[in-house]
Structure 1
Amino acid sequence: MADADPKIEKSEETKITIPTEGTTVPEAPAAKPKRSLLRPLLMFGVPAILLAIMGYFYFTGGNSVSTDNAYVQQDKSSVSTDVAGRIVEVGVKENQTVKAGDLLFRIDPEPYRIAVSQAQAAIAAAQVQLNTDEVSYQGKGADIQAAHDAIQNAQENYDRQNALMKQGFTTRANFQSAQHALEQARAQLQNAQASAAEARAKIATGAAVPGENPAIAAARVQLAKALLDLQRTEVRAPVSGIVSQTKSLQVGQQMITGLAAVTIVSNRPAWVDANFKETDLNKMRVGQCSIVTLDAYPGLKLKGHVESMGAGTGSEFSVLPAQNANGNWVKVTQRVPVRIAIDDKSPRALIAGLSADVKVVFKGACN
């Protein structure tokens, strides 16, 4: 009976069934799996995000262009000296703020003071020479009058000898001597008249400088130049701004005319030169809104507008422009400089040469 009945009761509440050979044990029902949210998220969320991104670029991507090839620019004045000489005084230091008219440096003025004195002496000499020429001209009038008197006497003597010669009471030698004296008197008159004309020319005034003797006018011009050179020994700031590159400003340094001695970065409003690709210019117009960000000041955004667009690409104004007329020519997208005026007042200093990112919005306001 025990072999026939495999069930063994251990208690009334618990029963253990021992399977025999040939019997099939039913499997316990599997636990119902929990529904996962990953599959619907991947099926619907990711495509929705992609569609949103595509839609954003579709509706807004064609409304603006941007470039990171942009730099802050400011007006810079290279100051040089108009007169050569040795520096005797320096009035500024590196990165010092100056106003227009402030003294930058002074060149030794002594040689130019001497030149002023020489010009003044030249004026005095010209004035003395003019007085001398006027007196000489007046003397030439007396010479002319004396020549006229000599001619009159010679003419009378000639007439007398001629009459005597006709009557046979004088010799031919006396007659010829009287004739020769008359000719000499006439020649003296011509010489006196020529000398008077020369003296009159010396005291005359020219059409370019009416009312003043040319020699005196030339001396006055030399004096004016000497005074101007003396004034230029003091080199002053032409504009207000910040002084830079003052390493050559040393007392005792010999300055040469035309050689830049110092640079002043003007405090006038800065702008940005943005080099856009030529393919970005189709919709760009002057006056369009722009946003400028600076690498030096993360988080700072400045609004501006397109002020102007360059008349040529960057390669056109290079020292050696590219010549593409050859068999190995490869087309390269060109860059066109676009000037961006900054409308906002920056809370930070806009240093010349800072790297910037520029975004130009074709329609609507900048965001």
Structure 2
Amino acid sequence: MNEGEESSTQAGHQEEPGKSEDRSNGDDRPDQKESEGTGNTRKPRKKLPLVILAVAVVAIGIGAFFWWFSTRNQESTDDAYTDGNAIAIAPKVSGYVVSLAINDNVYVHKGDLLLVIDKRDYQARVDEARAQLGLADAQLHAAEVQLDIARVQYPAAYRQAQAETESARADLRQAEKDYAREHGVDLRATTQQNVDAADARAATARANVRQADARLATAALVPDQIRQATVAVEERRESVSQAHAQLAQAELNLGWCEIRAPADGWVTRRNVQLGSYLQAGTTLFSLVTPPVWVVANYKESQLDRMRPGDKVKIDVDAYPSLELHGHVDSVQQGSGSRFSAFPAENATGNFVKIVQRVPVKIVIDSGMPKDHPLPFGLSVEPTVYFK
């Protein structure tokens, strides 16, 4: 009995360590599962940032590729602005403004009356010039009459002088014959009275010949006298031409008192008021005429493939909903700094290379609203699409 009890007791003691091991094993397994579970969840957490980074790099690469692919045939710049023609309106005559028909920023058509300068002084000058022209015409008519008279009278006077000279010479010859006859006969055959009379007739005949020669010499100047009359006519004609020119200038000045629009456009920068005194040549306002174009300052590295005729899309900062289309008109033959008031001097030893910008003129083809013109100087962003 005692041996049986001891054996059973030993057997029981032997079984208890096994149970304890089983229990210990049973107690350790949940810890192992927790440790295994904890290890499995920590490894993915370490790989997740790498995966996100890889995905981001791939996405950026794909985006960069598509961006390059879509923009490889285009160039854009935000250094661009609108530009156009602005006509400076200035008077050609001085005077007070008596009528002003315009206001700021209004649209006018070619030929519209803009303002009127006081005409009274210029009208008086026109009247004076017309009077001078009438006087010059009268003097010309008188000179032409004198020329006609000279052409008839002077040759007739010359012929008359010739005839008188011949008559005087004939009288002289007859007187000399009488003189010779009276002095050639015996004094008893004649009288002293006849001799004295012959002497007197001879002397008178000689005097008449001298007078006739003098008149003939004067009448011989007929060509010079006609030429002088012709010169007088030419001088009067020049006076008439001068009077015509003075009248034309006076009428021009009178017409310039009315300033009209030289073209269609918008009145801008008006600095004239009713009653103002205007000096000739002083700018009164500017007339902005259509069309409007774009001047884009592209970098020199962007001009390699740019050619006139390339299509352009234009975005206007002031009007985001407005999309304009145009084309490259021309590329300026020189950078902006080259034509500045003080161009850079790179031969002084302090050269620093700077990327230059070249102005490119872009003409707007479509998209411009007729009732909504673009002012000059607006910032735009043109995009040139290469062919």
TM-score with structure 2 setting the length: 0.77
Query: How far, CA to CA, are the matches of 2:337 and 2:300 in structure 1?
Result: 12
SS of match in other structure, 2:286? strand
Matched, 1:346 2:357: no
| Equivalent position amino acid for 1:30 in 2 | E
Q: Which of the residues 139, 142, 156 maps onto 2:167?
A: 156
Matched, 1:238 2:252: no
Query: How far, CA to CA, are the matches of 2:120 and 2:93 in structure 1?
Result: 13
Map 1:32-43 onto structure 2 (within 5 A). Answer: 32=37, 38-39=48-49, 41-43=51-53
Q: Do 2:316 and 2:378's aligned partners in 1 also have CA atoms closer than 8 Å?
A: yes
| Equivalent position amino acid for 1:149 in 2 | Q
SS of match in other structure, 1:317? coil
Query: How far, CA to CA, are the matches of 1:108 and 1:277 in structure 2?
Result: 53
Runs of 4+ in 1 over 6 A off after TM superposition: none
Map 1:229-268 onto structure 2 (within 5 A). Answer: 229-247=253-271, 249-266=272-289, 268=290
CA deviations over 1:327-351 (Å, ceiling 9, x no partner)? 2222222211111122222355411
Deviates most, 343-352 or 302-311: 343-352
Q: Do 1:161 and 1:170's aligned partners in 2 also have CA atoms closer than 8 Å?
A: no
Match of 2:137 in 1: 127
1:176–1:326 distance in 2 versus 1, CA, 3 Å: farther
Deviates most, 344-353 or 81-90: 344-353
| Equivalent position amino acid for 2:59 in 1 | I
Give the gaps of 5 or more residues in structure 1. 6-16, 18-24, 206-211
Map 1:215-226 onto structure 2 (within 5 A). Answer: 215-226=239-250
Query: How far, CA to CA, are the matches of 2:169 and 2:317 in structure 1?
Result: 111
Matched, 1:315 2:325: no
Shift of residue 124 of structure 1? 1.2
| Equivalent position amino acid for 2:58 in 1 | A
| Equivalent position amino acid for 1:250 in 2 | Q
Match of 1:295 in 2: 317
Q: Do 1:293 and 1:302's aligned partners in 2 also have CA atoms closer than 8 Å?
A: yes
CA deviations over 1:53-72 (Å, ceiling 9, x no partner)? 33124434432211111001
Match of 2:382 in 1: 358
1:325–1:183 distance in 2 versus 1, CA, 3 Å: farther
Match of 2:192 in 1: none
Query: How far, CA to CA, are the matches of 1:262 and 1:85 in structure 2?
Result: 17
Q: Do 1:289 and 1:305's aligned partners in 2 also have CA atoms closer than 8 Å?
A: yes
1:173–1:278 distance in 2 versus 1, CA, 3 Å: farther
| Equivalent position amino acid for 2:214 in 1 | Q
SS of match in other structure, 1:351? coil
CA deviations over 1:124-144 (Å, ceiling 9, x no partner)? 112211221233234433354
| Equivalent position amino acid for 1:251 in 2 | L
SS of match in other structure, 1:74? strand
Shift of residue 46 of structure 1? 1.0
1:321–1:176 distance in 2 versus 1, CA, 3 Å: farther
1:331–1:162 distance in 2 versus 1, CA, 3 Å: farther
The number of equivalent residue pairs is: 338
Map 1:205-216 onto structure 2 (within 5 A). Answer: 213-216=237-240
Q: Which of the residues 139, 142, 153 maps onto 1:142?
A: 153
Aligned-pair RMSD on alpha carbons?
Answer: 3.2
Query: How far, CA to CA, are the matches of 1:165 and 1:53 in structure 2?
Result: 139
Q: Do 2:322 and 2:367's aligned partners in 1 also have CA atoms closer than 8 Å?
A: no
CA deviations over 1:119-172 (Å, ceiling 9, x no partner)? 211221122112212332344333542343234223321343245447545478
Query: How far, CA to CA, are the matches of 2:335 and 2:133 in structure 1?
Result: 57
Query: How far, CA to CA, are the matches of 1:135 and 1:158 in structure 2?
Result: 36
Query: How far, CA to CA, are the matches of 1:324 and 1:104 in structure 2?
Result: 50
Deviates most, 224-233 or 102-111: 224-233
Matched, 1:83 2:93: yes
1:75–1:110 distance in 2 versus 1, CA, 3 Å: same
| Equivalent position amino acid for 1:279 in 2 | S
Q: Which of the residues 334, 342, 355 maps onto 2:356?
A: 334
Q: Do 2:165 and 2:216's aligned partners in 1 also have CA atoms closer than 8 Å?
A: no
1:339–1:173 distance in 2 versus 1, CA, 3 Å: same
TM-score with structure 1 setting the length: 0.81
Shift of residue 175 of structure 1? 5.9
SS of match in other structure, 1:238? coil
SS of match in other structure, 2:319? coil
Match of 1:20 in 2: none
Match of 1:30 in 2: 34
Give the gaps of 5 or more residues in structure 2. 1-12, 14-19, 21-26, 181-197
Query: How far, CA to CA, are the matches of 1:87 and 1:119 in structure 2?
Result: 24
1:299–1:250 distance in 2 versus 1, CA, 3 Å: closer
Q: Do 2:89 and 2:285's aligned partners in 1 also have CA atoms closer than 8 Å?
A: yes
SS of match in other structure, 1:314? coil
Q: Do 1:306 and 1:338's aligned partners in 2 also have CA atoms closer than 8 Å?
A: yes
Q: Which of the residues 193, 199, 220 maps onto 1:190?
A: 220
CA deviations over 1:157-200 (Å, ceiling 9, x no partner)? 13432454475454785565334213311232134553333223
Shift of residue 233 of structure 1? 0.8
Higher alpha-carbon Rg: 2
Query: How far, CA to CA, are the matches of 1:38 and 1:302 in structure 2?
Result: 48
